[in-house]
Amino acid sequence: LRYDTSQASATLDALKDMGFTRAQWSGVTIAFSDIQVPPEKEAVIKTYEERTDKINEQYSLGFMTEEEKRQEIIGLWTECTDQVAEDMEENFSPDNDLNIMVRSGARGNWMQIRQIAGMRGLVTNPKGEIIPRPVKSNYRDGLSSLEYFISQHGARKGLADTALRTAESGYLTRRLVDVSQEVIVREKDCGTKKGIEIPIASQSEDGEWRVDEFADASAYSRLLAEDVVDPQTGEILMNAQEPLDMEAIENLVAHGVHSVKARSVLTCESSLGVCASCYGWSLSTNTLVDIGEAVGVVAAQSIGEPGTQLTLRSFHSGGVASASDITQGLPRVTELFEARTPRGKSEIAPEDGTVEIDDSASFRLIKIINSQGEKVAEFKTNRRVPLLVHDGEFVKAGTQLAEGSVDPKEVLRICGAKDAEFCIVKGVHDVYRSQGVGIHDKHIEVIVHQMVDKVQVIDSGDTSFLPGDLINKTEFKATVKSAIEKGKRPATARECILGITKAALATDSWLSAASFQETTRVLTEAALQTKEDNLNGLKENVIIGKLIPAGTGLSRYRNSEVDVDSAVKEHIYPTLDRENESSSLFDSQDASQTDLSGVDFNDLGEDMGAGEILGPQDPGAYGVEDDSEPIDEPDSDPDDFPEGSQDDMDY
């Protein structure tokens, strides 16, 4: 640490005093004149109205279907709204109070300002479908009767969402806690050499490499998996196992390093929980995480708590899938953590090959042709969905072909577990970032680690497994190794992704699973299979009343002995026989054998800052009767008490 606690607290105190003093000097407020509508707005809207008229004309001549017209109009007005918002931002002067509020992060965002000073744009109906008639006015100029009526759909839905969001977010947190509660830091280092490649630099428009804007939520606080070498000189800049703070990341980027291989929970090889080296720093202390830290619960709370800030709204344009069909906010996070096939799914290339695009029909046909000239895949997409590949382009297996969300299960099947894990982590990260919420990737990785912790048995071989069983990876590897050593036929299995609900029910602890949901089924199956619970997680220990295996509840801390400092012994017990340790108060089994004749209890009271110490001059302290007069206690008369109160008194 750079500064000690006293220096840090004094500095923070001074900052607090300065804040309270200066806050009263002046305040920022807004007037009607601060809301500046961009002068280009009318011209921009007129241009897009003309383009909309052309689309309506094409539709009336039969050149496009009603759905295609709808998609075109929605796309046009979305573009128009963005253009007006851009002009509005540029139109604000730097000293405009509204501008200062938003740019400083004190209050509001540009989407809210856009509705006040730009244009409201497209709104949704109660079904969640976008109404293809935009609200061209803003709140400064005032809405027309029709615009006001249309916009009330969204206003009502916003209020309903607020009520639902809390419950939805709370349920997500519960599921996250349930799936990750057994993830505890069990050891300092699992010894793995594996890690994940993390970008720490990104290239700006001027071609210069700068520290990646997400480095503080990805690389920061991790330990390096291997040495980092200067790409020019070959000199070792940082050694493996060194922590990455922002200063170190900036130094690496300055030397031309664009990515590093760092330890991750996803590659941790601890048989139970995770190790401290793979987790890295605790973000609350900026030091290596302690053994016994319940990082699973921390991860669940870090993801679930900001969930209330995410929007529940998932716009879709109705009918066919399109780019605007992509689910956002909390439903998207739930979709990823439950490993569901996303709405508005984008196809990915199943093999390496060349793309062939056929636009001749009413839909678009994308074909993948391999090196032998054979067609290996064919996908139908709507012609309005923007493509991410072009005709004749060579693509690798797993390449996304069009805009939308990819299915993690397909990524797992085609590219493997590593890419599927990154797909989920990036998806969750993007949703929170889009809403202005920063969550460190390691929290998401802890949850994903639990989602991919099982394998599904394909062939049981000569083991006790059954085809279709979901087995813990560590247990499966140990069983296969044992079978090979004994010359038996090993089992085979495939990796799978389980949604958090299914993963919580598939846990090895039947107590934990039964306390989550489907209690009757879980208990029945556990009884039929005579399952045993090893009590490795938090929930199962709480249920039976044991100490939780986290923090000081870890078995390694339960039999700890604390020896009193020798200086304290010398000060308090100066006459103790140091040579004969068996007579020491601290070591003797019978404290009554200890010689305390040399101890001055009055001095001890003063030294220790205690109150008055009862000594030999106060015989009452030792239960000895003195000659002082006893205190007369008046006899109590039953009539002195109200009826029924005598029994209630505590004598």
Residues 433 and 378 placed together within one structural domain of the fold? yes
- 56 SS3 class: helix
- 501 has pLDDT over 50: yes
Q: Where are the alpha helices (DSSP H) in 181-290?
A: 246-254, 276-279
Residues 634 and 542 placed together within one structural domain of the fold? no
508's torsion region: left (phi>0), alpha (psi -120 to 50) or beta?
alpha
Structural domain includes residue 404: yes
Q: For all residues of the chain together, what is the average pLDDT?
A: 83
In contact, 217 and 425? CB cutoff 8 Å: no
Residues 346 and 373 placed together within one structural domain of the fold? yes
Neighbouring C-beta atoms of residue 135, cutoff 10 Å: 22
Residues 326 and 439 placed together within one structural domain of the fold? yes
Residue 180 CA to residue 537 CA, distance in Å, equals 9
Residues 545 and 573 placed together within one structural domain of the fold? no
Residue recorded with tokens 């590897």: 477
Residue 90 CA to residue 86 CA, distance in Å, equals 6
- 128 has pLDDT over 60: yes
Please enumerate in sequence order all residues whose Cβ is within 8 A of that of 80, keeping only pairs 6 or more positions apart, or say none: 44, 45, 48, 119, 121, 134
Please enumerate in sequence order all residues whose Cβ is within 8 A of that of 333, keeping only pairs 6 or more positions apart, or say none: 172, 303, 307, 310, 428, 431, 432
Query: What is the bridge-based pairing of β-strands 274-275 and 281-282?
Result: unpaired
Q: Report, in this order, helix, strand and coil percent for the chain, each rounded to 5.
A: 45, 10, 45
Residue 315 CA to residue 317 CA, distance in Å, equals 7
Q: Who wins on pLDDT, 131 or 185?
A: 185
Cα-based torsion angle of the residue sequence 551, 556, 558, 559 in order, rounded to the nearest 10 degrees: -150
Q: What is the pLDDT of residues 475-499, one digit of tens each?
A: 999 999 999 999 999 999 999 999 9
Q: Who wins on pLDDT, 565 or 35?
A: 35
How confident is residue 48, by pLDDT bands cut at 50, 70 and 90?
A: very high
Report the percentage of the chain scoring pLDDT > 90.
45
Cross-strand partners of 381:
364
In contact, 218 and 441? CB cutoff 8 Å: yes
How confident is residue 111, by pLDDT bands cut at 50, 70 and 90?
A: confident
Domain region containing 228: 185-293
Please enumerate in sequence order all residues whose Cβ is within 8 A of that of 183, keeping only pairs 6 or more positions apart, or say none: 273, 274, 294, 295, 296, 299, 446, 449, 450
The pLDDT of residue 608: 45
Neighbouring C-beta atoms of residue 207, cutoff 10 Å: 6
Last residue of a domain, one of 81, 110, 143: 143
CATH number, residue 59:
1.10.132.30
Residues 483 and 434 placed together within one structural domain of the fold? no
- 358 SS3 class: strand
CATH number, residue 457:
1.10.150.390
Structural domain includes residue 138: yes
Structural domain includes residue 12: no
Structural domain includes residue 244: yes
In contact, 304 and 428? CB cutoff 8 Å: no
Residues 268 and 385 placed together within one structural domain of the fold? no
Residue recorded with tokens 């299915």: 407
Cα-based torsion angle of the residue sequence 113, 118, 122, 127 in order, rounded to the nearest 10 degrees: 30
Report the amino acid identity of residue 172.
L
Which structure tokens are listed for 12? Answer: 């923070």
Reference 270, options 451, 472, 416, 552; nearest CA is: 472
Please enumerate in sequence order all residues whose Cβ is within 8 A of that of 437, keeping only pairs 6 or more positions apart, or say none: 306, 309, 310
Residues 461 and 419 placed together within one structural domain of the fold? no
The pLDDT of residue 603: 53
In contact, 322 and 205? CB cutoff 8 Å: no
Structural domain includes residue 532: yes
Residue 533 CA to residue 510 CA, distance in Å, equals 6
Please enumerate in sequence order all residues whose Cβ is within 8 A of that of 626, keeping only pairs 6 or more positions apart, or say none: 619, 620
Report the amino acid identity of residue 454.
K
Last residue of a domain, one of 238, 266, 293: 293
Structural domain includes residue 613: yes
Average pLDDT for 359-372 = 83
Last residue of a domain, one of 124, 143, 162: 143
CATH number, residue 207:
3.90.105.10
- 519 has pLDDT over 90: yes
The kind and range of the H/E element at 164 are helix 145-180
In contact, 357 and 365? CB cutoff 8 Å: yes
Residue 397 CA to residue 400 CA, distance in Å, equals 9
Structural domain includes residue 617: yes
Structural domain includes residue 302: no
Q: Which of 264-278, 372-386, 400-414, 563-577 has the lowest mean pLDDT?
A: 563-577
The pLDDT of residue 383: 77
Residue 217 CA to residue 433 CA, distance in Å, equals 10
Residue recorded with tokens 């496009």: 64
Residues 446 and 335 placed together within one structural domain of the fold? yes
Task: Tell me the chain's radius of gyration from C-alpha atoms.
Answer: 34
Q: Who wins on pLDDT, 425 or 598?
A: 425
In contact, 180 and 299? CB cutoff 8 Å: yes
Residues 208 and 249 placed together within one structural domain of the fold? yes
Residue 118 CA to residue 42 CA, distance in Å, equals 10
- Number of structural domains the chain divides into: 5
The pLDDT of residue 124: 80
Residues 459 and 433 placed together within one structural domain of the fold? no
Is 0.85 topped by the overall pTM?
A: no
The kind and range of the H/E element at 449 are helix 441-451
The phi and psi torsions of 246 (rounded to 5 degrees) equal: -65, -35
Neighbouring C-beta atoms of residue 342, cutoff 10 Å: 20
Cα-based torsion angle of the residue sequence 388, 390, 394, 399 in order, rounded to the nearest 10 degrees: 20
What b/e readout covers 409-440, taking b as 16+ CB neighbours within 10 angstroms? ebbbbbbebeebbbbbbebbbebbeebeeebb
The pLDDT of residue 573: 67
- 461 has pLDDT over 60: yes
Q: What secondary structure letter does DSSP report for 636?
A: P
Residues 492 and 551 placed together within one structural domain of the fold? yes
How confident is residue 563, by pLDDT bands cut at 50, 70 and 90?
A: confident
- 398 has pLDDT over 80: yes
Q: What is the pLDDT of residues 9-34, one digit of tens each?
A: 999 999 999 999 888 887 788 899 99
Ranges of beta strands (E only) in 204-293 are 209-211, 228-229, 236-238, 259-262, 274-275, 281-282, 287-288
Which structure tokens are listed for 172? Answer: 């997500």
In contact, 506 and 452? CB cutoff 8 Å: no
Residue 257 CA to residue 335 CA, distance in Å, equals 35
The pLDDT of residue 265: 95
